[in-house]
Structure 1
Amino acid sequence: MSFKSLVAVVGMSLAAAGCAVAPAGEDAALKQAIASPARTPAFAARDAARKPYEVLHFFELRPDATVVEISPGAGYWTEILAPYLKPRGTYYAAQYPQDGGGRAYYQEYYRNFRAKLDANPALYDRVRVTAFGKGRYDIAPPGSADIVLTFRNLHNWMNDGYAEEVLAAFYRALKPGGILGIEAHRGRTDRPQDPRAADGYVRQDYAIRLAQQAGFVFVGSSEALANPRDTKDHPAGVWTLPPTFRLGDKDRERYAAIGEADGFLLKFRKP
């Protein structure tokens, strides 16, 4: 059997098993979604820091995938994922519940996100919104997702004490062979991990162990979001840096020069 034939057979076998197969080469449709003039200008302005193409390509996004995004917030990734997946795939936005889970600002997130979708049905009429929060983990039907993605959320679940429950929910939602992609602010290795991640930073080795304890197999990491200028000892934690600038104008130029926080990308697979 030739090498080309062997690759084809392996690819068909993985697809039949429900595995997410890494896209080969350049993804023109993804680049088109990222370059869309329909995106919010303030979101597009952050692309140099957030590197959406590199991130999503690393997480093996493909146009026919069933993808769950956890806590999409104001919709930075929604504006890319929803139109990209609309023709052939499925996009679940696991947003804060409509009742906010007892938190008024979560309710506001839900209302604003819902309004965003309703305002542009041409792009968002196929988005499936599910409820996600403490004790609310029905993010997608069990065993239905090819990819679950979470961007800069892990520290929040650690702070609220339910990170293990969240990872178990991701495991349930994924197909065997499915991908879990985690982006987080990378903590310092010369300090023990605060279990509550109060400064917003999470040690990479700590995050890997959390996912492995939930049953995931670690596949690899990416340095696409590495920022060696981030010393990770800021007075207001990660929120000192852009885009939050929690200290206001105090030392703003210095923090702007550092840029967005040092980040890691971790990829896991459900056996």
Structure 2
Amino acid sequence: MYDQSKLSELIRFARAKKGSTVIDIYPGDGDWTRLFSDVVGPEGRVYNFVPAEVAHFKNDPVGLMGRLAKEPGRENVEAVSSDLLAMPKATQPADVVWLHLFYHDLHTALIQKKGATAAEFNRAVYERLKPGGSYVIVDHAAAAGAGTSDAQSLHRIDPASVREEVEAAGFVLDAQSTTLANKVDPHSIKVFDPSIKGETDRFAFGS
């Protein structure tokens, strides 16, 4: 996770507040789910949504999120899992749909094996957001002009491609954050490489 100042900035950027409904897509260890749970309070709701495409992972993401939802004080959290494109049917209308380091996976064989595409997922998000809601994407940046070609190999994506795809679904990109930018990232190595792991150049878009 990030230091407190970056966490606070990203929560502000997401526009989550008391009473909000948030969908945390592929929540990993659940750190963001916990943060949003604290922010939205007992009148809000947080769905920690595990795509069925990754439910088979050895760390048992579905079970992990189910246990998180049972933690003391997490009554506003609901663990949900379904095929990625079924997300609108598995959740309620949301104020925020949050993707942290996941969008690039929409362009990988793992996520596409059940037929999901970035275009279809973006339309699903558009369907699930309340009017005026925020679609927030944080991801590892690829080199300018790389498009989606590094998504499978390096787990990176060109911010310009993300913007193009999201706007094609009807969204308006109205906020960008450089909080996680790293100008010394060469953009040419895998994000798990020890020389850059945890320090990649990352972009944040709010639509």
Structures share a fold, TM > 0.5? yes
Match of 1:128 among 54, 68, 78: 78
Q: How far does residue 89 in structure 1 lie from its aligned partner after superposition?
A: 1.5
Q: How far does residue 103 in structure 1 lie from its aligned partner after superposition?
A: 5.5
Partner residue in 1 for 2:50: 95
Q: How far does residue 207 in structure 1 lie from its aligned partner after superposition?
A: 0.3
Q: How does 1:63-212 map to 2 (within 5 A)?
A: 63-97=18-52, 101=53, 104-105=56-57, 108-118=60-70, 120=71, 122-137=72-87, 138-141=89-92, 144-160=93-109, 161=112, 162-194=117-149, 196-212=151-167
Higher helix content, 1 or 2: 1
Q: How does 1:246-261 map to 2 (within 5 A)?
A: 255=195, 259-261=198-200
Q: How far does residue 134 in structure 1 lie from its aligned partner after superposition?
A: 3.9
SS at match of 1:95: strand
Q: How far does residue 219 in structure 1 lie from its aligned partner after superposition?
A: 0.5
Amino acid at match of 1:238: V
Once the two structures are superposed, residues 12-49 of structure 1 have per-residue CA deviations (whole angstroms, 9 ceiling, x without a partner) of xxxxxxxxxxxxxxxxxxxxxxxxxxxxxxxxxx3229
Tell me the number of residue pairs that the alignment of Structure 1 and Structure 2 aligns.
200
Structure 1 unaligned blocks of 5 or more: 1-45, 246-254
SS at match of 1:53: helix
Instruction: Kindly report the root-mean-square deviation, in angstroms, between the aligned alpha carbons of the 2 structures.
Output: 2.4
Q: Distance in 2 between matches of 1:102 and 1:266?
A: 24
Partner residue in 1 for 2:203: 264
1:228 aligns with 2:172: no
Q: Distance in 1 between matches of 2:18 and 2:175?
A: 22
Amino acid at match of 1:152: L
Partner residue in 2 for 1:38: none
Once the two structures are superposed, residues 183-208 of structure 1 have per-residue CA deviations (whole angstroms, 9 ceiling, x without a partner) of 01111115454174431111111000
User: Does the aligned pair in 1 maintain the 2:142–2:159 contact within 8 Å?
Assistant: yes
Q: Distance in 1 between matches of 2:199 and 2:4?
A: 7
Q: How far does residue 88 in structure 1 lie from its aligned partner after superposition?
A: 2.5
1:216 aligns with 2:194: no
Structure 2 unaligned blocks of 5 or more: none
User: Does the aligned pair in 2 maintain the 1:50–1:225 contact within 8 Å?
Assistant: no
Partner residue in 2 for 1:30: none
SS at match of 1:77: helix
- Aligned identity (percent) is 22
SS at match of 2:174: strand
Higher strand content, 1 or 2: 2
Q: Distance in 2 between matches of 1:102 and 1:177?
A: 30
TM-score of the superposition, structure 1-length normalised? 0.67
- 1:192 to 1:82, Cα distance in 2 relative to 1, 3 A: closer
